[in-house]
């Protein structure tokens, strides 16, 4: 059975990052940005900021247990001619600006390959990604390990995500969150990076399928069933590690994110394929089960006890519960975090 109302509860109460944390994220990013903008050495190079990754795509989820949640933002910067042959200088200087700040200098902060990480105790960390539009027309981020530029098109990826989600009637983002929940909270296909999971799931959503079946993405469980089964079919047809092109058209490929070497990458990918195959079968069984009690049990076997019916008092003052005579099916969760 679909049990769409149960999925709404699972997403709202268990999977989605709560609005309080999202508001805190906004406040902290704004504070960090203002601090960097006010820095005497690099402030004049800073042009703006843009949410990146799961925060921008609205696929961010609750972390496991007391673990930190993470969010990325692009720090828009102008070119410094003195650093033209030394791209990693942008990461080094952002790190140095945090290091000399009266507040952030006393917090854990470190340099990563493509970002500077700032850690807030027992709550979250921010990845600050220097992002430039070079005079030669290239849009880039920094690869500190190689001391080189990497082509990127973050807005293009975000636009692609919006288009795919719209094609799936607003259900793709929920499906991605549910699959990330399986990975993180249920220890399934561990090692698969979010950019790979998001891209591979999103690429399964096509207009052709909606033309053949207008209800193909009609609700969350139906979209989950079809997208995961379609991904399973695609993976079966591609048994070796795929390159996974950036759907924005930047020319970048994400295949190196499977692992640091070909053997590790293939092992991670093969495990991912096996787990998606298992989940596709589990999801189909739960979806097709006609007995409600058994269907609930099958869905809980996949997603855990958070998959449950709404409580009778779930109505709010703003959106009161419908009167019994006018009851209708419960809609999708409106929180997109």
**pLDDT category, 313, cuts 50, 70, 90?**
low
Lowest mean pLDDT among 86-90, 230-234, 275-279, 327-331: 327-331
**Phi and psi, residue 127, nearest 5°:** -105, 115
If you search the block for the tokens 């636009």, which residue do you land on? Answer: 159
CA–CA dist 283, 231 (Å, integer): 13
CB-side exposure of 329: number of CA atoms within 13 Å? 10
CB 244 within 8 A of CB 253: yes
User: In this structure, what token pair is assigned to residue 68?
Assistant: 């930190």
Residue 337 has pLDDT above 70, yes or no: no
Torsion sign across C-alpha atoms 319, 320, 321, 327: negative
For 202-244, what is the HEC assignment? HHCCCHHHHHHCCCCCCCHHHHHHHHHHHHHHHHHHCCCCCCC
User: In this structure, what token pair is assigned to residue 27?
Assistant: 């406040």
For residue 112, the cross-strand partners are: none
C-alpha torsion angle, residues 182, 186, 190, 192 (rounded to 10): 10
Average pLDDT over all residues of the chain: 92
Residue 334 has pLDDT above 90, yes or no: no
Write out pLDDT tens, residues 165-215: 999 999 999 999 999 999 999 999 999 999 999 999 999 999 999 999 999
pLDDT average, residue stretch 91-118: 97
* Percent of the chain predicted with pLDDT > 70: 93
Q: pTM of the predicted model, to two decimals?
A: 0.88
CA–CA dist 312, 322 (Å, integer): 11
Distance of CA 111 to the CA centre of its chain: 22
- Non-local (6+) Cβ contacts of 203 within 8 A are 234, 247
SS3 335: coil
Residue 24 has pLDDT above 70, yes or no: yes
Query: Which helix or strand (DSSP H or E) is residue 163 part of?
Result: helix 154-167
Residue 72 has pLDDT above 70, yes or no: yes
Buried b / exposed e along 80-97 (16+ C-beta atoms within 10 A)? eeeeeeebbbbbbbbbbb
Write out pLDDT tens, residues 204-255: 999 999 999 999 999 999 999 999 999 999 999 999 999 999 999 999 999 9
* Model pLDDT, residue 315: 45
The DSSP line for 271-309 is HHHHHHHHHHHHHHHHHH--SHHHHHHHHHHHH-TT--P
**pLDDT category, 123, cuts 50, 70, 90?**
confident
Nearest residue to 96 (alpha-carbon basis) of 57, 140, 42, 145: 42
The DSSP line for 70-127 is EEEEEEEE---GGGTT-TTHHHHHHHHHHHTSTTGGGS-EEE-SS-EEEEETTTEEEE
* Model pLDDT, residue 309: 96
Task: Pick 22 or 68 by higher pLDDT.
Answer: 22
User: In this structure, what token pair is assigned to residue 329?
Assistant: 């099916």
* Model pLDDT, residue 316: 41
Torsion sign across C-alpha atoms 113, 148, 203, 73: positive
SS3 129: strand
Instruction: State whether CATH 3.30.460.90 applies to domain 19-152.
Output: yes
Residue 328 has pLDDT above 80, yes or no: no
* Model pLDDT, residue 75: 98
């Amino acid at each position: 059975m679909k049990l769409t109302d149960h999925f709404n509860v699972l997403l709202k109460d268990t999977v989605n990052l709560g609005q309080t944390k999202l508001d805190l994220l906004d406040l902290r990013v704004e504070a960090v940005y203002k601090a960097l903008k006010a820095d005497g050495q690099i402030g004049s190079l800073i042009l703006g900021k843009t949410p990146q990754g799961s925060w921008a795509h609205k696929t961010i989820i609750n972390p496991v247990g007391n673990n930190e949640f993470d969010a990325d933002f692009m720090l828009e910067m102008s070119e410094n001619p003195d650093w033209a042959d030394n791209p990693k200088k942008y990461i080094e200087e952002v790190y140095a600006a945090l290091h000399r700040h009266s507040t952030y200098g006393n917090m854990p902060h470190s340099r990563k390959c493509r970002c500077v990480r700032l850690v807030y105790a027992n709550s979250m960390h921010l990845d600050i990604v220097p992002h430039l539009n070079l005079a030669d027309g290239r849009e880039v981020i920094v690869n500190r390990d190689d001391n080189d530029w990497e082509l990127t098109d973050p807005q293009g990826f975000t636009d692609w995500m919006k288009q795919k989600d719209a094609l799936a009637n607003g259900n793709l983002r929920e499906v991605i969150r549910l699959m990330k929940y399986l990975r993180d909270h249920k220890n399934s296909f561990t090692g698969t990076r979010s950019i790979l999971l998001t891209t591979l799931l999103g690429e399964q959503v096509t207009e052709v399928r909606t033309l053949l079946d207008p209800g193909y993405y009609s609700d969350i469980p139906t979209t989950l069933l079809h997208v995961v089964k379609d991904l399973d079919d695609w993976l079966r047809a591609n048994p070796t590690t795929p390159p996974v092109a950036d759907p924005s058209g930047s020319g970048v490929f994400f295949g190196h994110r499977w692992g640091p070497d070909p053997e590790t990458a293939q092992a991670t990918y093969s495990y991912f394929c096996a787990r998606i195959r298992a989940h596709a079968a589990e999801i189909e069984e739960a979806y097709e089960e006609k007995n409600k009690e058994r269907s609930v049990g099958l869905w809980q076997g996949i997603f855990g006890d958070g998959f449950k019916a709404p409580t009778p008092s779930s109505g709010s003052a703003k959106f009161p519960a419908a009167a019994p005579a006018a009851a209708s099916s419960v809609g999708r969760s409106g929180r997109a975090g």
